[in-house]
Amino acid sequence: MYTYSRLLWCRMNRCPTRGVLLTVVGLRVNRMVMRMVAMLSLVVFSCLSLAAKTEITVWGLAITPDEKGNDLIVRQFERENPDIKVKLLGMGAGAMNPQKLMTAIVGGAPPDVIQQDRFTISDWASRGAFRPLDDLIERDRGSDPRTPTADQYYPATWNEAIYDGKLFGIPIGADNRVLYYNTEVFAEKADELREAGLDPTRPPRTWSEVLAYSKVLTEFNADGTIKRAGFIPNEGNSWLYMFAFQNNANFMSEDGRKCTLNTPAAVEALDFMKAGYDILGGYENTLKFKSGTRGGENDPFAIGQIAMIINGDWMIASYARYSPKAKFLTAPAPVPDDRYYQRGRFADEKDKFITWSGGFAYAIPRGARNIEASWKFIKFVQSLEGRQLYARGQADLEQSRGRRFIPRMAANIEANEWLVDTYASGNSTYELALRQHVDMMPFARLRPATFVGLKLWDEHVRAIEQACRGAQSSEEALVSGQTRVQQILDEYFSKEDYPRVNILGWVLGVFGVVVAGLVTWVAMLIRRGSGRVSPQETRAGYAFISPWIIGFLVFTLGPMIASLVFAFMNYDVLNPAHFVGGKNFVDVFVVDRDLLLKALGNVAYLAVIGIPLGLTTGLVIALLLNTGAKGIRFYRTVYYMPAIAPTVASTFLWMWILTPDNQRGLLNNFWTNTIAQWFGVNAPGWFTVEPWAKPALILMGLWGAGGAMILWLAGLKGISKTLYEAADIDGASGWRQFWSVTLPQLSPLVFFNSVMGFIGVLQTFDGVYLITKGENMGPNDSLATPVYMLFNNGFAYFRMGYASAIAWMIFFIVVAVTLIQFKLAPRWVHSEVDK
């Protein structure tokens, strides 16, 4: 009803004749009605004029209590352009879920403007997902003073949005990273620092210095856990990119065709990170420490639990808000010794210090409907005026809460200078810090503009983990990451070597052949059996099952064939497909082997441990209920309720229950007060650490064991009483009766559940996607699943062909395991028929 009335309403708004028609009809009736109709048509027309308003949708801007600047921008823009209405939508702000944008563009319903992390812009641009903006700039350059041009921006920000010589986004903010060091900790440890030959009044400037400082500043508890960390290489925001840039490593070749993740310079940088972790007692030990830290008022750096940290300018506002008493200073992040002393490879380098800059940009997706309005909006947002409005809105909000306002950097140089002059010209810690960041801006490097940006990012994160954990040497880790990125590059650049095919034609062709085969088969069946049944009944029968036949052909068989065809193609939906033969299947097993094995291992873990645990829990409850205990209805309700709670709600609930922070997380609070004290085992980090991520998932699933319980209850009811009576006469104990009567009688149910359970587990997706927020696959891929791999490849890396190959692989595994289960079943599943 609701949608229908809305539909009607929209139609009325859009159809101009309706108002006229009503008016014409109205003329014939009396004046009273006429007046009414006139009013009505007025309403309709005014609605029409409302509808004529251009509405632009902007994605990537969250409406949260901490954002008021965007409100002001939008209001001012709407005031200046009364014919445009702006709608802001978070859509998973920040990294902006790529899958959402992808489906929207392919589906022809993209937003008009999107705020996007700059380093992913080339990714989209390479596939023609964004509209180049050069022509608009060229057109407006002379006429509109707000037109953005390259000279107004920090080069590091502007260049990041350029792909293949064309500009695809207008940078909005800029960030970069510097070293924050807690002066209180430095003062407290002054003597020890001096003893080690280090100056406690200044920050470390080189890699070897920062390690030396860290060694002195780090303190351990008696049990070897970290009490205070001197310097955690990958805390705050540095990643390998920061250190690699400092060491003049670049992860991509100039022409963008080769991934150069593994270079001696990068290996050196990664070795440095590893050395940093070794000082802290290893990567795992650091993770344990990190899982015990919190944000806000208890930020580990602000309260001195971490002495030095490389972080971005966004942290200043947070420190100002939550830790007004923290004493810290900033300095350029430490660089390789050779760079600092300008010797060796760096003898001719001018820049002593290097930072890494990133940030967001506004872009217009392909297929956006209101380009002019969108462009106007982008111009306004990025202009000095827009930035000023934003800062005013934020300042107003912070001041109304009685807090200090520290602006974020803008990519627009003029705007940035205005911000510093207006809000950060003083000498407070925060203002000094911000100016430090601004000063570093000219020395900023940027991530290479490549269409494999996202994959490169994911792989570099994986390499950091592998190397710092000690699972692989730095070089091995980088090599394996490089191979996987290179695979996508090769796939892209070698695309033209493979024949271009008309994919729709292929799908329809194969589909036609298969359907023709099916029709012939059915026709044959009908002819063969026509003697025995009435043709009338045959017709009726087919009529009755026709909904399924149509559904089967359109929603199952068709897509199956399509995905089979895709599996042999290099296809990204937006561009024509190329036939690559079995390459996708080979690649799944060769290039992505590690991840695939990990994902399969994960589901095997979930299946082998999770399914039996879930079934046992359900069975135990059912057995207890089946003793004829009082209040069965009540208990049944209580146990079953979790099973029907909406997945999304219960996932979020459990994410909070399992929060590692023992003051916010329910379970860890309990654990800290009991188990930790009794056994001396610290509360685990659940979803944040590798060994506990899957157990946490299983635990979450156990809560829903009520579903299985209901099934068991029904099964128990079905067991004949006589069997138990006979067992009683034989003198079998309760335990014995369970093993010899109950369990065999229930075995068909066990079988059914394990088959269905396995099929379900192999398709685990919703939960892990929600838990990892779609950003990664859990710590060290411990939550990777085949469907998650498929989803990422299909909807985030645009590799439909590859994703289809994974889909078929999943299908084969399901079939194989199900067949094995059916083969083994007769050995243990009790069946009345056999005996």
Partner 1 sequence: MTAEVVFLLLTVCIWVGVVLGLRAVFLGMRLGFGSPGVDRAGLVKRLGISAGIGGFLLLVGSFIPKELGREAVGSWLPLVWIYTPFPGWMLLLSVFMVGSRLIQGRTALNAEEDRGRYLAALIWAGVGVGSFLWLRGMEGQISILRGAIPLHWPAIFGLLGLLVAAMVGMVLAERTTAARGVTKKISAQLGLLAGAVIFSIPFVWLLTTSFKEERDLANTDGIVWVPQVQKTHAFLDPENPQFAARYDGRAVKVKKDSEVAGGKWLVEVERPYGLRGRRFEVPAGSLKEIPRDQPIWSGVENGTAFTAFTVKDQEDGSRLLEVLEPGDRKGQRLTVMPEDVEPVRERGLRWQNYSDALEWMPLETGFGMAYLLNTLWLAGMSVLGTVLSCSIVAYGFARLRFPGRDQLFFVMLMTMMLPGAVTMLPQFLIFSNLGWMDSLLPIWVPTFFAGAFNVFLLRQFFGTIPMELEEAARIDGCGYWRTFWQIMLPLVKPALAVIAIWTFMGAWNNFMGPLIYVNTPAKMPMSYAMGLFASDRGTDQALMMAFATMSTIPVLLLFFFAQKYFIEGVSLSGLGGR
- Grouping H, G, I as helix, E, B as strand and the rest as coil, residue 190 is helix
* Whole-number Å distance between alpha carbons of 684 and 667: 10
Taking CB under 8 A as the rule, does residue 528 contact partner 1? yes
* 578 Cβ contact list (under 8 Å, min separation 6): 495, 496, 498, 499, 500, 501, 569, 570, 571
Q: How far is the CB of 562 from partner 1 (least distance, A)?
A: 4
Whether the CB-CB separation of 495 and 567 falls below 8 Å is answered with no
* Whole-number Å distance between alpha carbons of 784 and 768: 8
Whether the CB-CB separation of 355 and 333 falls below 8 Å is answered with yes
Residue 500, H or E segment? strand 500-501
Going by the DSSP 8-state scheme, the letter that residue 682 receives in this structure is P
* Whole-number Å distance between alpha carbons of 92 and 104: 14
* Whole-number Å distance between alpha carbons of 161 and 411: 12
Closer Cβ to partner 1, 478 or 565, answer by number: 565
Closer Cβ to partner 1, 282 or 748, answer by number: 748
Among 42, 471, 513, 526, binds partner 1 (CB under 8 A): 526
Among 23, 575, 818, 821, binds partner 1 (CB under 8 A): 818
Residue that has been written with the tokens 């792909």 in this structure: 163
Q: How far is the CB of 635 from partner 1 (least distance, A)?
A: 5
Q: How far is the CB of 126 from partner 1 (least distance, A)?
A: 20
Whether the CB-CB separation of 301 and 180 falls below 8 Å is answered with yes
**Angle between helical axes of 474-493 and 453-469 (0-180°, round to 10):** 160
DSSP 768-786: HHHHTTTTSSSGGGTT--H
**Contacts with partner 1, 253-272, as mask; x by CB under 8 A:** --------------------
Q: How far is the CB of 313 from partner 1 (least distance, A)?
A: 20
Closer Cβ to partner 1, 296 or 582, answer by number: 296
Taking CB under 8 A as the rule, does residue 735 contact partner 1? no
Among 737, 770, 772, 825, binds partner 1 (CB under 8 A): 770
- Grouping H, G, I as helix, E, B as strand and the rest as coil, residue 59 is strand
Closest among 164, 269, 341, 295 to 663, alpha carbons compared: 295
Closer Cβ to partner 1, 585 or 670, answer by number: 670
Taking CB under 8 A as the rule, does residue 427 contact partner 1? no
Q: How far is the CB of 429 from partner 1 (least distance, A)?
A: 14
* Whole-number Å distance between alpha carbons of 111 and 378: 13
Question: Which parts of 207-246 interact with partner 1 (CB under 8 A)?
Answer: none
Taking CB under 8 A as the rule, does residue 615 contact partner 1? no
Pairing assessment for the beta strands 113-117 and 444-445 based on DSSP bridges: unpaired
Closer Cβ to partner 1, 104 or 266, answer by number: 104
Whether the CB-CB separation of 618 and 705 falls below 8 Å is answered with yes
Closer Cβ to partner 1, 36 or 624, answer by number: 624
Closer Cβ to partner 1, 165 or 646, answer by number: 646
The CA-based diameter of the chain, rounded to the nearest angstrom, is 103
Among 145, 344, 512, 551, binds partner 1 (CB under 8 A): 551
Among 515, 710, 732, 825, binds partner 1 (CB under 8 A): 710
Q: How far is the CB of 735 from partner 1 (least distance, A)?
A: 13
Q: How far is the CB of 390 from partner 1 (least distance, A)?
A: 12
Piece in contact with partner 1 (CB under 8 A), picked from 62-70, 127-135, 212-220, 607-615: 62-70
Q: How far is the CB of 18 from partner 1 (least distance, A)?
A: 23
Other CB atoms within a 10 A radius of the CB of residue 631 amount to 10
Taking CB under 8 A as the rule, does residue 749 contact partner 1? yes
Question: Which parts of 357-396 interact with partner 1 (CB under 8 A)?
Answer: 393
Question: Which parts of 482-501 interact with partner 1 (CB under 8 A)?
Answer: none
Whether the CB-CB separation of 148 and 170 falls below 8 Å is answered with yes
Among 787, 796, 797, 798, binds partner 1 (CB under 8 A): 787
Question: Which pair of tokens denotes residue 725?
Answer: 């009576």
Q: Alpha carbon of 389 to those of 69, 247, 385, 415: distances in Å?
A: 6, 39, 6, 11
Piece in contact with partner 1 (CB under 8 A), picked from 21-29, 68-76, 144-152, 580-588: 68-76
* Whole-number Å distance between alpha carbons of 591 and 204: 41
Taking CB under 8 A as the rule, does residue 111 contact partner 1? yes
Q: How far is the CB of 305 from partner 1 (least distance, A)?
A: 16
* 627 Cβ contact list (under 8 Å, min separation 6): none
Closest among 175, 341, 352, 342 to 246, alpha carbons compared: 352
Q: How far is the CB of 247 from partner 1 (least distance, A)?
A: 35
Pairing assessment for the beta strands 328-331 and 219-220 based on DSSP bridges: unpaired
Taking CB under 8 A as the rule, does residue 64 contact partner 1? yes
- B/e letters for 734-752, b = 16+ CB within 10 Å, e = fewer, are eeebeeebbebbbbebbbe
Taking CB under 8 A as the rule, does residue 72 contact partner 1? yes
Question: Which pair of tokens denotes residue 6?
Answer: 């809305």
Among 516, 714, 820, 824, binds partner 1 (CB under 8 A): 714
Question: Which parts of 563-582 interact with partner 1 (CB under 8 A)?
Answer: 563, 566, 573
Residue 47, H or E segment? helix 31-52
Q: How far is the CB of 103 from partner 1 (least distance, A)?
A: 5
Q: How far is the CB of 233 from partner 1 (least distance, A)?
A: 25
Taking CB under 8 A as the rule, does residue 795 contact partner 1? yes
Piece in contact with partner 1 (CB under 8 A), picked from 105-113, 115-123, 195-203, 311-319: 105-113
Provide φ and ψ at 217, rounded to 5°: -80, -25
* 619 Cβ contact list (under 8 Å, min separation 6): 708, 709, 712, 746
Q: How far is the CB of 766 from partner 1 (least distance, A)?
A: 5
* Whole-number Å distance between alpha carbons of 395 and 14: 42
Q: How far is the CB of 50 from partner 1 (least distance, A)?
A: 11
Taking CB under 8 A as the rule, does residue 27 contact partner 1? no
How close are the terminal C-alpha atoms of the chain, in Å? 57
Piece in contact with partner 1 (CB under 8 A), picked from 99-107, 430-438, 577-585, 587-595: 99-107
Going by the DSSP 8-state scheme, the letter that residue 686 receives in this structure is G
Q: How far is the CB of 592 from partner 1 (least distance, A)?
A: 16
Taking CB under 8 A as the rule, does residue 303 contact partner 1? no
Closer Cβ to partner 1, 176 or 291, answer by number: 291
Taking CB under 8 A as the rule, does residue 810 contact partner 1? yes
Number of residues that bind partner 1 (CB under 8 A): 148
Q: Where are the beta strands (DSSP E) in 108-186?
A: 113-117, 162-163, 166-167, 170-171, 175-182
Question: Which parts of 631-690 interact with partner 1 (CB under 8 A)?
Answer: 631, 634-642, 644-650, 652-654, 656-657, 661, 663-664, 666, 669-670, 673, 677-681
Question: Which parts of 503-522 interact with partner 1 (CB under 8 A)?
Answer: 507, 521-522
Q: How far is the CB of 29 from partner 1 (least distance, A)?
A: 30
Taking CB under 8 A as the rule, does residue 51 contact partner 1? no
Piece in contact with partner 1 (CB under 8 A), picked from 69-77, 439-447, 459-467, 489-497: 69-77
Piece in contact with partner 1 (CB under 8 A), picked from 280-288, 354-362, 487-495, 523-531: 523-531
β-sheet with 113-117: strand ranges across: 84-89, 54-59, 113-117, 360-363, 170-171
Among 43, 533, 586, 597, binds partner 1 (CB under 8 A): 533
Amino acid at 429: T
Q: How far is the CB of 324 from partner 1 (least distance, A)?
A: 6
Piece in contact with partner 1 (CB under 8 A), picked from 141-149, 231-239, 398-406, 587-595: 398-406
